[in-house]
Amino acid sequence: MEIGKTQMLKAARTTDNGCYLMDEVGNEVLLPNTYVTPELNLGDEISVFVYKDNEQRLTATTLKPKVELEQFAYLEVMDVNNAGAFMDMGVVKQLLVPYSEQPVKMEIGEKYVVFFMLDEETDRLIGSAKLEDFIFTEDLDVEEGAEVEVLPYKRSDLGMNVIVNGLYQGLVFKSDIHRPFPIGIKLKAYVKNIRADGKIDLLLEPMGYRNVIDNASQSVLDVLQKNDGHFKYTDKSDPDEIRRVFKMSKKAFKKALGSLYKQKIVLLEKDGTKLLKKLD
């Protein structure tokens, strides 16, 4: 049974308190009478969200949560006490964000982007506003020019920091923001550049893939042009030599070559790489 997630469970037995639902391996959870409809019969499958109540007992609800386990969401603080801030997550149970997970002290009535997690030390479902702790910067499964979903979470001097596809960290520069772009509202964006540190530069308007050239690709082009449009380096070249010549990792070099190849700017040969055309 997946705590903190919506899932299909089977009605197994009834009690005075409600209906017990069962997963495929026999684990049970109570669906309180409040959410049991006359149409629910034993043996029926029902979609429910499973969480822990204030006594840490597993409970099911048919209410749709605003966030599920290991997701980011923009939630409102409903209460604050000695334990931390309590946020509205769309079900009876409110999401606790302990003070230790608040980079900035949260206030009642304000909204914040948080990550919904299972605290391994206490086995409790909690929220965290330390968003960078839950963002991946390696093995990014996106490419330059791709359409992605972004969740804006913090403004900076450079622009708006966003979470990309619920996994990665991105930035839309001030100069590229030409329409309202509020914190907490998900929308589509387009990958402009994937930086060596694993962060992503984005645009709010689509642009042709051929126009999307990142810094690593430009560095490769610079070396090609200095060598009359050809060099001996390929995706099989020695990593240390790649780092010495191009000032980047082997992984970044391979991505740059792949990007240029897809745009038909370079030709990948067995003994090296050849420049097919220059960029405008």
Topology of the domain comprising 6-61: OB fold (Dihydrolipoamide Acetyltransferase, E2P) (2.40.50)
| Burial (CB count within 10 angstroms: exposed 0-12, middle 13-18, buried 19+), residue 106 | buried
Dmax over Cα atoms in the chain, in whole Å? Answer: 82
72 SS3 class: strand
Sort strands 187-194 and 45-52 into parallel, antiparallel or unpaired.
Answer: unpaired
pTM for this entry: 0.70
- For 215-275, the fitting CATH number among 1.10.260.40, 1.10.10.10, 3.90.550.10, 2.60.40.3080 is 1.10.10.10
Cα angle value 145/235/257 (rounded, 5°) = 25
Residues 106-148 pLDDT 10s: 999 999 999 999 998 888 899 999 999 999 988 898 988 889 9
Give the residue extent of every domain in the chain.
6-61, 72-132, 147-211, 215-275
| Residue 225 pLDDT class (50, 70, 90 cuts) | confident
Residues across the chain = 280
Residues 19-48 pLDDT 10s: 999 999 999 999 999 999 999 999 999 999
Question: At 118, which helix (H) or strand (E)?
Answer: strand 111-119
